[in-house]
Each structure stands twice: as structure tokens, then as C-alpha cells.
């Protein structure tokens, strides 16, 4: 399950950012995504955040001080997405119980 | 007169302008020093490729009389600025703390004052023989309407030179500077943008604010290297300026900046001026339409970075004179 999410994220990075010379399997899970690692830039981060919201329903706040940590690597992104999905599920459950 | 639309002039005309003090009887010692400097630094008016001194060379030239008096003048300029600047800032702050119904209109007024102040500053620096630059004699012309200026950044005064040369110009200010209490009213009042604070998603805020400024009719200046250029090289370009231009659908105007010999770079400090008078030139290249790249900021960055890098690092590069149609 964990591997699936990380693989999905790698594929998403390649597709959303149109990285022509990079294959998803070339991206190491713990490798930094920005500057010295995969070499992504701040506009890439912006596009990646939008793609994550679209695919996983997890919204990123531009003012969140944890963004640097969350966007550090595929592993940290996967943890962020899992936490966001769990938060969304809990909110949906709370809303359903209130309605019921 | 809109300095952005002043036609280009030859470099020869530049050398003889704006120095009426030099012909006055009983000119001051400062004026005589300036004339001595101008004679000694005759090459400055007829720029030839001059190798940038290494910090080691700068140290060797410390006893050179030209460098000594330039250091003294630079110290005087810094001292005068240090004494006078707080009064100017206090006036600005008092004005900018008043409520306004139209921040853009007030921003344009602030920018006009700042533009004239920087123009005057460069006139004084030129008259003193500290730095040869005349904002009335740009090589090339800026287009009408909003655009994004991208330029290399070899020296600190290149930003003030651009501010002196272009109307309605906003810039992205480093976040640590933007947040200083004494500077914030001025940079906010002038509608400048706060730069990123290290958060990967800060680009969203910068891009959004940049597009908003352009939609309001302002021009935007960005140094895509993010810091001053290292000697004889350029840092890799960042994409924000190009993304803003693509989203706002306005042209990018590349500007090649040269300062020879280099002064007030990361390596050559303000109070260690070179022996020869530094000459600052701005070459305004033709605007680049993002539509030509399908509004792809990455492709646009690569093309413009390649061109700017080639021209800025070529010591013998000559920029074609402006075309007959004034572009």
C-alpha cells in the first residue's frame, strides 16, 4: 500500500511537471526533490501542489510552515498525503454523524 | 518625459553631459578631482573591454591615487546617505501611513519620486567620477505597456539604474528587507512585492502578486538569478519571472547589464572601488512574447537564459544599435 502511493506520486511528478528525461523509477524515494536532488524549482512545487490536490484531494496551504519539510522528498510527500487523506476522512465521518 | 521612451544615444554624448559644475570658475576641490578622474579614466567614456579585477588585484591597487580618492568619495557618499536617508524615510513613512482610496495611484507617485531620486543619485555618482551611468542614454528602448524585465545582476547599483530608467516599475524585494519596520511602508507604498521566505510554495504568492501588478498596468523587474551574479558567471535562472509573464500574457524584456570594472558586487565592496572609473551599461534587448513559447515558462526561461548568458559573459559583445523604428 505504501509502495503504491509512493509509486503514484513518482508518476504524478513526472506527468504533472512534464519531466521528459525522467522515468518514475529513476526518482529515489528519499532523494530531495528540489535544487540538489531532482532539481525542481518553486514553480514546480506550485504545480505539484495543485496536482496533488486534484488527484488525492489533499489541499496545501501556501502559508504552511511545514511545506519545506512536506515537499522535501517523495517519502515526505507520501506521509503528507496520507495525513491529509486521514484528516479528510475524519472530517467526512464527523459530517456524516452530524447529519445522521 | 517618460525615460522609458527616451531614444538611445551614443556613448560619446554621454561623457560630456550633466557636468555643468566642471566649467564654473573656482570649481571646488571635488570638481577638480572629478575632472582629474575623468581625464585619468578617459577610457570610461570610450569603453573597451576591461578585465574585472580579482579581490587580490584590488588589494594591490590600494595605494593607487585613483582608488584612494574614489574610496574617500565613496565614504563621503555613504556618510551623506547615512545622515540624510532617515529624514527621507521619515517623510515617506508619514505620507504612506495616511489612508488612501487608491493604493496604485499613490504607488505610482511614490515610484515617480523614487525614480527621480535614483536618477539624481546616478547624476551625482557620475559627476563625482564614481560610476559612469546616464539613465537618459540607454541602449535600446522599453516597450509601452506592462512587461517583465529580466536581467543579470553584476552590481548593486544596476537595480537603482533600472529604477531611474523605467516608469511604473515594481520589484520583488527580499523578504528580510521587505519586513524591516523602517523600510516596509516605502516598499509597500511603492507596490513592490515581497520575495519568498524559503517556503517552497511562496512562489504562489509571488506569482499571484506579480500578475496582479501587471494587470494594474505596472512593470515588473526581476533578477532571475535571485542574487548578485558571481564574477565572470551567472547563477542558474529561476522560473518565477517567466511564469508571471506567461500568466499575465505580457512580454519579457531581457536587459544585459555590464559593470566594468566591477564594483559593489559580492566580491568587491562599496568602500573598495577599483582604480578605474566603473562604467555601467544597460542594453535593452527586443521584447520576447510568451506566446512564441506557447506560454511555457520553462521553454522561455531556457531561451532567454541562453541569450543573456552569452551576451553578459562575452567581454567583447557588442549590442546592435536600436532599429530605425525605435524598437
- The CA distances from residue B93 to B98, B105, B159, in Å, are 9, 17, 22
Tell me the shortest Cα–Cα distance from A25 to chain B, in angstroms.
23
**Is residue A7 within 8 angstroms of chain B, CB to CB?**
no
**How far does CA B55 lie from the centroid of its chain?**
23
pLDDT at site B3: 40
The confidence band for B245, taking pLDDT boundaries of 50, 70 and 90, is very high
Which single residue is written with the C-alpha cell 533600472? Answer: B162
pLDDT at residue A2 tops 80: no
Owning domain of residue A47: 2-99
- The CA distances from residue B264 to A18, B47, B225, B311, in Å, are 40, 19, 17, 21
pLDDT digits over A27-74, tens only? 999 999 987 778 888 889 889 999 999 999 999 887 788 888 999 999
pLDDT at residue B246 tops 90: yes
Q: Do B203 and A43 touch (CB under 8 A)?
A: yes
B6 lies in a domain? Answer: no
pLDDT at residue B12 tops 70: no
- What integer best gives the mean pLDDT of chain A? 88
A27/B252 Cα distance (integer angstroms): 33
**Which DSSP category does A29 fall into?**
T
Which residues of A fall within a CB distance of 8 Å from B240? 42-43
Pairs across A and B, CB distance < 8 A: 47
Q: Do A65 and B240 touch (CB under 8 A)?
A: no
> In residues, how long is chain B?
327
Owning domain of residue B94: 31-313
B255 lies in a domain? Answer: yes
**Is residue A94 within 8 angstroms of chain B, CB to CB?**
no
- Can you spell out the DSSP letters for B130-177? S-B--TTS-BS-PPSS--EEEE---STHHHHHHHHH-SSEEEEEPHHH
The confidence band for B305, taking pLDDT boundaries of 50, 70 and 90, is very high
**Is residue A85 within 8 angstroms of chain B, CB to CB?**
no
- What integer best gives the mean pLDDT of chain B? 79
CATH number at residue A76: 1.10.1200.10
Q: What is the mean pLDDT of residues B120-126?
A: 91
Which residues of B fall within a CB distance of 8 Å from A61? 201
Name which of B198, B199, B239 is nearest A41 (Cβ-Cβ). Answer: B239
pLDDT at residue B91 tops 50: yes
Q: What is the mean pLDDT of residues B103-114?
A: 92
pLDDT at residue B128 tops 70: yes
B14 vs B154 pLDDT, higher one: B154
pLDDT at site B299: 93
B24 lies in a domain? Answer: no
Sequence-distant (6+) residues with CB within 8 A of A59 are: A53, A84
Tell me the shortest Cα–Cα distance from B239 to chain A, in angstroms.
7
Select from B172, B200, B210, B244 the residue whose CB has the most chain A CBs within 10 Å, as the one to mutate to test that interface. Answer: B200
pLDDT at site A1: 47
Domain count, chain B: 1
pLDDT digits over B175-232, tens only? 999 998 888 888 999 999 998 877 778 888 899 999 999 999 999 999 999 889 998 8
Q: What is the mean pLDDT of residues B17-33?
A: 36
The confidence band for B316, taking pLDDT boundaries of 50, 70 and 90, is low
Domain count, chain A: 1
Q: Do A42 and B239 touch (CB under 8 A)?
A: yes
The confidence band for A97, taking pLDDT boundaries of 50, 70 and 90, is confident
Tell me the shortest Cα–Cα distance from B150 to chain A, in angstroms.
17
Tell me the shortest Cα–Cα distance from B232 to chain A, in angstroms.
22
B261 lies in a domain? Answer: yes
pLDDT at residue B144 tops 70: yes
pLDDT digits over B268-286, tens only? 888 888 888 889 999 999 9
**Residue B322: how many CB atoms within 10 A of its CB?**
17
Amino acid at each position: 500500500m505504501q509502495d503504491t502511493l509512493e509509486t503514484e506520486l513518482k508518476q504524478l511528478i513526472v506527468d504533472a511537471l512534464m519531466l521528459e528525461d525522467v522515468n518514475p523509477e529513476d526518482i529515489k524515494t528519499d532523494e530531495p526533490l528540489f535544487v540538489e536532488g531532482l532539481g525542481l524549482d518553486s514553480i514546480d512545487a506550485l504545480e505539484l501542489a495543485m496536482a496533488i490536490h486534484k488527484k488525492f484531494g489533499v489541499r496545501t496551504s501556501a502559508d504552511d510552515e511545514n511545506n519545506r519539510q512536506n515537499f522535501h522528498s517523495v517519502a515526505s510527500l507520501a506521509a503528507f498525503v496520507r495525513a491529509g487523506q486521514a484528516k479528510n476522512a475524519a472530517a467526512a465521518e464527523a459530517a456524516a454523524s452530524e447529519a445522521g | 518625459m517618460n525615460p522609458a521612451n527616451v531614444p538611445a544615444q551614443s556613448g560619446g554624448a554621454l561623457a560630456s553631459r550633466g557636468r555643468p559644475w566642471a566649467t564654473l570658475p573656482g570649481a571646488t576641490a571635488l570638481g577638480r578631482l572629478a575632472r582629474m578622474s575623468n581625464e585619468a579614466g578617459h577610457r570610461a567614456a570610450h569603453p573597451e573591454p576591461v578585465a574585472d579585477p580579482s579581490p587580490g588585484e584590488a588589494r594591490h591597487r590600494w595605494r593607487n591615487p585613483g582608488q584612494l580618492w574614489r574610496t574617500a568619495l565613496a565614504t563621503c557618499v555613504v556618510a551623506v546617505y547615512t545622515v540624510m536617508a532617515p529624514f527621507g524615510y521619515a517623510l515617506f513613512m508619514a505620507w504612506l501611513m495616511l489612508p488612501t482610496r487608491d493604493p496604485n495611484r499613490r504607488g505610482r507617485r511614490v515610484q515617480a519620486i523614487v525614480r527621480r531620486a535614483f536618477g539624481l543619485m546616478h547624476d551625482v555618482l557620475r559627476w563625482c567620477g564614481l560610476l559612469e551611468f546616464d539613465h537618459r542614454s540607454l541602449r535600446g528602448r522599453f516597450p509601452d505597456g506592462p512587461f517583465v524585465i529580466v536581467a543579470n545582476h553584476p552590481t548593486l547599483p544596476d537595480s537603482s539604474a533600472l529604477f531611474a530608467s523605467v516608469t511604473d516599475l515594481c520589484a520583488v524585494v527580499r523578504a528580510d528587507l521587505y519586513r524591516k519596520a523602517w523600510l516596509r511602508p516605502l516598499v509597500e507604498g511603492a507596490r513592490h512585492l515581497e520575495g519568498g521566505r524559503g517556503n517552497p510554495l511562496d512562489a504562489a504568492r509571488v506569482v499571484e502578486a506579480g500578475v496582479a501588478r501587471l494587470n494594474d498596468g505596472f512593470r515588473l523587474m526581476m533578477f532571475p538569478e535571485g542574487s548578485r551574479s558571481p564574477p565572470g558567471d551567472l547563477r542558474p535562472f529561476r522560473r518565477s519571472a517567466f511564469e508571471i509573464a506567461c500568466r499575465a500574457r505580457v512580454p519579457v524584456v531581457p536587459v544585459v547589464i555590464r559593470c566594468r570594472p566591477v564594483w559593489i558586487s559580492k566580491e568587491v565592496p562599496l568602500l573598495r572601488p577599483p582604480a578605474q572609473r566603473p562604467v555601467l551599461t544597460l542594453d535593452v534587448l527586443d521584447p520576447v512574447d510568451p506566446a512564441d513559447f506557447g506560454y511555457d515558462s520553462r521553454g522561455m526561461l531556457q531561451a532567454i537564459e541562453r541569450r543573456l548568458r552569452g551576451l553578459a559573459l562575452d567581454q567583447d559583445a557588442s549590442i546592435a544599435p536600436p532599429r530605425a523604428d525605435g524598437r
